[in-house]
Amino acid sequence: MAVQTDRVAARVVSLAPSATETLRELGATDRLVGATYHCEAEVPAVGGWLNPDYDAVAERDPDLVLTADDLQADVTADLRDRGYDVFHADPTTLDEVIESFADLGAAMGMAEEGAELAKRARTRLDRVRRCVSDADPDERPVVYCEEWSEPPMVAGNWVPEVVEVAGGRYPFVAPGERSREISGTEVETADPDHVVIHVCGHGACADPEAVTDRDWDLSAVARDDVHVVDDSLLNQPSPLLVAGVERLAALLYPDVFDA
């Protein structure tokens, strides 16, 4: 359910790239007066995602600070102790990610725009579902998504649902569960048809050899069905995640999406 507020946030500091990207889709980056150096925004930097510069935040004099993810729980608590109004989003499932667009819009005083953004996202996801609906459930490709390579970690949270919407199967982590370390034996047993590498913080520059050079016996590697995807499309709970679903579906069903 969307957060209800009559306040219009005019000076916003974002300490989360996902929040910054959602603001961009809401058309509200003109209200952004500060952001972390991890965010793509032409505003003064206020430190890192997990180590913000509180003095820099104070200099920006925000009436709303945005945080995200359980990893920022301590940062969020510190900000509130310092007297800031904080909007914190911690979605773990795909539906929660979409709902957070509406919640952030409402917290900004842009409830209508937030609800519309969430509606557009669901419409795009429904389109992907329709495009892959003819695929036999038992014949859908198994997909292994790796979000960290040393040690190997299989992606959790919303990624299992992203794979399902894109027409794949994901036997590694249940929806909403956190990412976890995984053994080569587990991956070999699942024998994925596709390997997707989206290492946190690497953008689209992750090294596929981190997987292909392992002694894992995977048919996907033998067929060269190993794909590097910009991590912001799968790891970030922002509107970019919808583009990530579309990107993954195009990898799994190129004939359908080329058409």
Overall residue count recorded for the chain in this entry:
259
Domain parsing of the chain, residue ranges: 12-128, 137-258
| Residue range 12-23, pLDDT digits in tens | 999 999 999 999
Predicted local distance difference test score (pLDDT) of residue 152: 98
CATH class of 137-258: alpha beta
Is the entire prediction scored with pTM above 0.75?
Answer: yes
Pairing relation of β-strands 12-14 and 32-35? parallel
Residue labelled with tokens 């290492």:
199
Does 12-128 match 137-258 in CATH topology? yes
Is the pLDDT assigned to residue 67 strictly greater than 80? yes
Is residue 39's pLDDT more than 80? yes
Mean pLDDT, rounded, for 113-119: 98
Report residue 257's pLDDT band, with 50, 70 and 90 as the boundaries.
confident
> Residue 6's pLDDT band (boundaries 50, 70, 90)?
low
pLDDT digits (tens, 9 = 90+) for 82-114: 999 999 999 999 999 999 999 999 999 999 999
CATH no. for 12-128: 3.40.50.1980
* Average pLDDT rounded to a whole number, residues 27-56: 96
pLDDT of residue 36: 97
pLDDT of 4 reads 46
According to the model, what pLDDT value does residue 259 have?
55
Q: Is 254 exposed, middle or buried (0-12, 13-18, 19+ CB in 10 A)?
A: exposed
Q: What is the pLDDT of residues 218-247, one digit of tens each?
A: 999 999 999 999 999 999 999 999 999 999
- The H or E element spanning position 197 is strand 194-197
In sequence order, the 6+-apart residues with CB closer than 8 A to the CB of 121 are 98, 101, 239, 242
The tens digit of pLDDT for each residue in 156-192 reads 999 999 999 999 999 999 999 999 999 999 999 999 9
Q: At what angle do helices 111-131 and 240-252 cross, to 10 degrees?
A: 0
Task: Give tens-digit pLDDT for 142-153.
Answer: 999 999 999 999
The yes-or-no verdict on residue 5 having pLDDT over 70 is no
Q: Could you give the 3-state DSSP secondary structure of residue 12? A: strand
User: Which residues, including other chains, have CB under 8 Å from residue 258's CB and lie 6 or more apart?
Assistant: 250
Tokens 């009559």 correspond to what residue? 6
Structure letter (DSSP) for residue 90 = -
117 vs 244: CA distance, rounded Å: 16
